[in-house]
Amino acid sequence: MGRYPSGMDTSAGTPPPDPEKLLAAWTEWETGENTPGRVMANLKTAGMPQLLRALVEQKQAGAL
C-alpha cells in the first residue's frame, strides 16, 4: 500500500486509488474538457470513494 492511507481495504479485488488518474480527472473538471457526469465517473473509477473513506477513517482514529 505504501503511499496510500493505511487501512485502505483493497481486498475486494478493487485496485487502490490512482493519484495520477484522480488528478487528471480533476484537471478535466477545472478546464472544462469533460462533462460533469464523465468527470464524476472518472473520479469514481480512479478510486476517489475509497480514498475519501480511508482518509475519514484515519481522521476519526486520530491518525491525521
Tell the burial category of 20 from Cβ atoms under 10 Å away from its Cβ (0-12, 13-18, 19+).
Answer: exposed
- The 10s digit of each residue's pLDDT in 12-56 is 678 899 999 999 999 999 999 999 999 999 999 999 999 999 999
Contact (Cβ atoms closer than 8 angstroms) between residue 19 and residue 48: no
pTM score of the predicted model: 0.72
What pLDDT, on a 0 to 100 scale, did the predictor assign at position 6? 56
Among 9, 20, 3, residue whose Cα is nearest residue 50: 9
Domain ranges of the chain: 19-60
CA distance 40 to 25: 8
What pLDDT, on a 0 to 100 scale, did the predictor assign at position 60? 93
What pLDDT, on a 0 to 100 scale, did the predictor assign at position 7? 54
